[in-house]
A and B are shown apart, each in its own frame.
Chain A
Amino acid sequence: MRAAVLAAFGVLAAGPLAAEPFKCPKVGGSFVFGQEANVNSLDQMTSNTISTRNIAMNVFEALTTRDENNNPILDLADSLAEAPDGMTYTFTLRPGIKFHNGKPLTSADVAASWDRYSKVGLDRQMFDAVAGWDAPDPMTFVVRMKQAQPTFLEKLSSFSIPVVIVPAEARDDPPQQLRTVGTGPWQLVQSVPGSFVTLKRYDGYTPNTHFEGRTGFGGYKQACFDQVTFRIVTEGGARVAGLETGELHAVEDVPTKSLDRLRANKDVKLLPLPNWWIQIALGNASMAPTDDIRVRQAIQAALDMDEIMDAATDGNYKLNYGFAYPNQPDYVTTGKDTYNQKDPAKAKRLLAEAGYRGQPLVLLTNKDYTSMYNAALVVQEQLKAVGINTELKVVDWPTSVQMSLKADSGWNVFFSGWGTQPALGALATMAFLAPPGAQYQPKDGKDDPDVLAAWRGMNNLPTKEERRAAFGRMQQALLEKAYVFPFGSLTKVQAARANVEGWVPFRIPRMSNVWFAN
C-alpha cells in the first residue's frame, strides 16, 4: 500500500500542469438539490452524517482527499514527501489559495486546523501515531510520527470526517460550531436548519491545476452555477414530485416504486448508485442464545437473502457477500460458502446440536431506516420457520445504537447498514469489528483471537498484498463464526433534470463542474 500511495502522490507532485483544464460550458443559474435528511451543523470535523457531508464537502477542502476511484490524492497540498523511515511527512501548499474571507492560506492555518481536529475531531484516533506538527515556513507543513504507520495516508485522506483546513482563528471553535469558512469553490450564503442551505460561487477560488477535471472530492473544480440551494425534502414522494415539476434540479434517494414512472419521463435522467451500503446485521456473541456459535450458524443457514433484500429495498439491490464490493481493490472471496444458504434443515440440525429449547432471541431494529426495519421483519419470519423463538424489538435509531454498544442490553441480532466505511475501504469497515468495542460483542470482552490477529495484520503488515490477505482472513473468520450477517448491497438512485450536465452520481453530490444545458 505504501508503495502505491507514494507512487500516486509522487506522480502528482512532479506532474506537469494539465494541458487543458475543465472550463464551464455555461456559467450561471441557480441550482436546487433535494436532500433527504436534515442537516444540523456544517462542522465537518465533528459530524459524521451524510447530510453534513453533502453540503460541507463543497465548502471545505483538506490537504489530501480521495479521487473518483477512492485512491488518495493531494488537494490543498502541492506536493508531499514521506521520509524513507516513514517518520515525517512534509507537505507544501498550493500557492495562491485564499479562504472565503479573503485571507491567504498559510501553514499556520493548517497547523491550527490540525490543532482543532486533535481536540474535537471525531476521527482524531488517526493522530494516535502522530507526535506533532510544525509550520517551518508559510508554505510548508511537517507532520512528525511517533512510529511509522503504513496506513497513515489512507486514514488521513478519508472523506468520512476529514481534517478540513479552516482559518487559524477557528482553532478554538467549539464542537458543532465551526465557522463555515473554507477554501472550496462554494461559500456559504445562508443555512436554515430544517429547511435549506444556500451556497454561492466563490470567485476567489484557485483550482488545482495538476488535474484536468474533477475527480472524487478533488481535482480541478469550477463552480458553474451562480448559486446552489440544498433543500431539505425528507419525503421521498415529495422529492420525486419536485423533480417532475422542475422545482428541484436533482435529488438523492429516489424511492424504488417511483423508478418506472421516472424512467418514462423524458425530462428526467436516473443516476443509480450501486453499492450504496451493505445491508447487515450483527450477532451478539455475549448474550444467550447467540453466545453459542451453533445458534449463530443456524441463523446464517436459515437466511434467504433475496427475500430479505427484496423487502428491504423494494427490489433494488444486488446480492453481495462479505464486507467489500466486487469493483473494489480490497475485494476478497473468503467465507463465500456461508452466504445465502437457504437451508432450513441444516439450521434445525445446528439448533438441535446446540440444545436450543425455544429461548427468546431478540432482533433489535429501528423504525427510522425502513430498509433495516423491513429486513428484520423478513429475518424474523425465516427464523420462526426453523423454530427459533424470535422477538422483535423496534426502537428509534439513537436508542438502537446505544443498545448495540452494550452486550447486556437485551439483544441478540442488531440490524444496521454500512455505507461510508465500505466505500472508504476494508480498513475503515473492519474498524467496526475490531477493538475497542468490537460490535459483535466478543464473549467476556475478549476479541476472537483469529479476528484480532487478522486485524493487526491489516494495520501493520508492510505490503498492500499482505494487508489484503489479512483482510481476507478477517472476513473469513467473521463469516465462518457467524458474528456478522451481511445480507447484500443496496442500490440508491439519484436523479436529475435532463438539462443538468456534468453530474456524475457519487455518494456525496458534487456541485462543481456541473452546469445547465440550455
Chain B
Amino acid sequence: MIRLLLLRLAGAAPVLLLVSMVSFGLMRLIPGDPSAAIAGLSATPAMVAQIRAQLGLDQPLLQQALHWYGGLLHGDLGRSILLGQSVFWATMERLPVTAALSLYALVVTLVVGIGTGVLAALRQNTWVDQAAMMVAMLGISVPNFFLGLLFIIWFAVGLGWLPTGGYIAFTDDPWGWFRTSTMPAVSLALLNIGLLARVTRSTMLEVLRQDYVRTARAKGLPRHLVIGKHALANAMIPITTVVGIIVSLLVSGSVVTETLFSIPGIGQLLTSAVLGRDYPMVQGGLLLVTALLVLINLGVDMLYAVLDPRVRLGG
C-alpha cells in the first residue's frame, strides 16, 4: 500500500513540474499587463508607465522565470499584484468557499445520483427507469451556466425565495450559507447527477445479474439487505472512480458558477486574475489548484485500491 502511494507520488512529480512550466509560460505570453487593472478606468499614459516600472514588468523573461522558480524552491508562490496578498494565502482564503460549495454539490450528487441510478436499475424497463434516465440525460446536456441563469430568473427574481448571488460563510451564518449556496450547488450538481445516475444504473444492472446476488436472493434474504449489502457494495467500486471525475468537474464548473453567482471562491479568483493579468496570482493559483486536484485523484486511486484488491496487487 505504501509502496503504491510512493510510486504514485513519484509519478505526480514530473506532472507538477510540467504544470508549473505551462502556468508560467501561459501568463507571460498574454498581451496586456496588470498596470491597466491597477490604473483603473481613466489613468493617464504616464501613470500606466509608472506602474509598469514599479511592477518589474520591464525585466527580461528569463529573469522573471528564475525569480519564479527560485521562489517555488523556497515554497514561495509569489505575491498577487492586484490583491497585494501572498498567492498562497489568497488561494487558501478562497479554498474553503469552493470546497464547501463542491462538498454541498457532491453530497447532492451522491444522494440524488446514486438514488436515481439504483431506482432505475431496480425498475429496469419501466416508466420509472425511463423517466430517471431522461432526467439524467437532461442533466448531462444542460449547460450549467444556462441552468444557473434559469434558476436566478425563477427562484431569485421571480419567486424571491433565494438571493440572486453573493456568499455567506457557513461559520458566520449556516442558514445564510444554505440560502446563498443552494442554487449554485444544485446547478453544479445536475451534470454530475446525470453522470452518476447513469453509471450507477449500469453497474447495478451488471451486479444484480451476478451469481452471488441471485444466490443471496434465492436463499431468501430480504430484498433491501441484498441490494444494500451485496449489490450496492460491489457497485461502489466503479462509482468511486466516477466520484474522482466528479471532483475535477466540480472545480471546472466552479469557474463559471462562481462568476455567475458572485461567489468568492477559487474559480472567481483565477478568472478575475486572468482578466486583470495578475501574473503571479494566475501562475501560483493554477499550480496550487492543479496540484490539489492531482492529490485528490491520487487519493481516489488509493481508495479504489482499498475497495478493489485486484488493483492493489497489480499496482
Interface residues of A (CB under 8 A from B): 38, 40-41, 43, 46-50, 52, 120, 122-125, 174-177, 192-196, 231-235, 237-238, 241-242, 245, 247, 368-369, 395-399, 401-402, 405, 416-421, 431-432, 436-439
Asked, given contacts A125-B46, A436-B46, whether A48 binds B40 with beta carbons under 8 Å apart, the answer is yes
Contact partners of A234 in chain B: CB under 8 A: 262
Listed residue (B33, B42, B268) with the most chain A CB atoms within 10 angstroms of its CB: B42
- Whether B194 is near chain A, meaning CB under 8 Å from some CB there, is no
Q: For B83, what are the chain A residues with a Cβ–Cβ distance below 8 Å?
A: 40-41, 176, 193
- The answer to whether B46 and A241 touch across the interface, beta carbons within 8 angstroms, is no
> What are the interface flags for B20-63 relative to A under an 8 Å C-beta threshold, 1 for contact and 0 otherwise?
00000000000111101111111111111111001000000000
B49: chain A residues within 8 A (beta carbon): 437
Stretch at the interface among B9-17, B139-147, B155-163, B307-315: B155-163
B164 adjacent to A241 (CB under 8 Å): yes
Query: A195-B264, A399-B32 given as contacts; is B163 within 8 A of A439 (CB)?
Result: no
B269 interface residue per 8 A CB criterion: yes
Given contacts A398-B33, A437-B49, A439-B45, contact A242 B82 (CB under 8 A): no
Contact A417 B41 (CB under 8 A): yes
Shortest distance between the CB of A46 and any CB in chain B (Å): 7
The stretch from B206-214, B248-256, B270-278 touching chain A is B270-278
- How far, in angstroms, from A401 to B45 measured CA to CA in the complex? 9
- 8 closest A-B pairs (Cβ-Cβ)? A437-B45, A176-B84, A194-B264, A48-B40, A195-B264, A398-B36, A238-B164, A49-B40
CB proximity of A10 to chain B, nearest CB, Å: 31
Contacts of B277 in A (CB 8 A): 398
Which residues in A have their C-beta under 8 angstroms from that of B94?
A: 194
Distance in angstroms between the alpha carbons of A369 and B42 in the assembled complex: 13
Q: Hey, which chain A residues are within 8 Å of B82, CB to CB?
A: 40-41, 176
Contact call A43/B84, Cβ cutoff below 8 A:
yes
Interface contact B163-A242, CB-CB below 8 Å: yes
Across the interface, B42 reaches (CB within 8 A) one of A176, A420, A438, namely A420
Taking a contact as CB atoms under 8 Å apart, the answer to whether B38 and A46 are in contact is: yes
B268/A420 in contact, CB under 8 A: no
- Asked whether, in the complex, the Cβ of B167 is within 8 Å of the Cβ of A123, the reply is no
Shortest Cβ distance from residue B305 to the other chain A in the assembled complex, whole angstroms:
38
With A and B bound together, what is the CA distance between A145 and B167 in angstroms?
Answer: 50
Contact partner of A401 among B36, B164, B165, CB < 8 A? B36
CB B287 to nearest CB in A, in angstroms, measures 20
| A419-B42 in contact (CB<8A) | yes
Residue ID in chain A nearest B166 by CB atoms: A231
Partner of A122, one of B43, B93, B156, B157: B43
Query: Which residues of chain A are within 8 angstroms of B90 by Cβ–Cβ distance?
Result: 193
CB distance from A204 to the nearest CB of B (A): 26
Task: Check A418 against B42 for contact (C-beta < 8 Å).
Answer: yes
Contact at B262–A48, with CB atoms within 8 Å? no
Q: Which B residues have a C-beta under 8 Å from some C-beta of A?
A: 31-34, 36-51, 54, 81-85, 90, 93-94, 152, 156-157, 160, 163-167, 262-264, 268-269, 272, 275-277
| 16 A/B residue pairs, CB under 8 Å, sorted by A | A40-B37, A49-B40, A122-B47, A193-B269, A194-B268, A195-B263, A232-B166, A235-B164, A237-B157, A237-B164, A369-B41, A398-B275, A402-B31, A405-B48, A418-B42, A436-B46
* Contact present for B48 and A38 (CB under 8 Å): no
Is A232 a contact partner of B34 (Cβ separation < 8 A)? no
Is B81's CB under 8 angstroms from A233's CB? Answer: no
Which residue in chain B gives the minimum CB-CB distance to A235? B165
The docked-state distance in angstroms from the alpha carbon of A233 to that of B83 is 18
CB pair B165 A233 closer than 8 Å: yes
A241 to B262, CA, bound (A): 14
Hey, which chain B residues are within 8 Å of A420, CB to CB?
40-42
A177 x B84 contact (CB < 8 A): yes
Pick the contact of A174: B43, B84, B93 (CB < 8 A): B84
11 additional A-B pairs beyond A49-B38, A232-B166, A398-B37, beta carbons within 8 Å, are: A38-B272, A40-B83, A48-B40, A49-B37, A49-B41, A176-B83, A193-B90, A235-B262, A237-B152, A402-B32, A419-B42
Interface pair B264/A398, CB less than 8 Å apart: no
Shortest C-beta distance, A394 to chain B (Å), equals 14
CB atoms of A122 and B272 under 8 A apart: no
B280 to chain A, nearest CB (A): 12
Name the residue among A48, A50, A405, A436 with the largest chain B CB count within 10 angstroms. A48
Task: Say whether B262 contacts A232, CB under 8 Å.
Answer: yes
In the assembled complex, the Cα of A49 lies from the Cα of B82 at a distance in Å of: 11
Chain A contacts for B54, CB-based, 8 A = 120, 175
**Among B83, B156, B269, which residue has the most Cβ atoms of chain A within 10 A?**
B83
B33 close to A402 (CB less than 8 A): yes
Q: Which of B38, B152, B263 contacts A176 (CB 8 A)?
A: B38
